[in-house]
Structure 1
Amino acid sequence: MSRSLVLRGRRVAAFAALAALAACSSTPRGIDAQWRAPDAGRPLGGARVLVACEAAETTLVRLCVERFAAELAARGATPVPAPDAPPPPAAGPRDDARYVDLARQAGAAAVWVGSVSVAPAEPASGGLSIGFGGLHVGSGGSGVGLGVTLPVGSLGGGGSAVRYAAEARVSEVAGGRLQWSARAGSGASGDAGGQLDALARRLVDAAATAGLF
Structure 2
Amino acid sequence: MDYALIIRNWPLFAQGLVVTVSIVGLSLALGAALAIPLALVQAYRVPFMGRVAGLYCYAIRGTPLLVQLYVLYYGLAQFASIRASVFWLLLGNAYCCAVLGFTLNSAAYVAEIYRGVLVSLDKGEIEAASAYGMTRPQVIRLIALPQAFRLSLPAYSNEVIFLLHASVIASTITIVDILGAGRKLNATYYVVYEGFLTAAFLYLAIVIFITLVFRKAERKFLAFR
Say yes or no: TM over 0.5: no
Higher relative contact order (CA 8 A, sep 6+): 2
TM range (shorter): under 0.3
**What is the TM-score of this pair, normalised by structure 2?**
0.27
Structure with more of its chain in helix, by fraction: 2
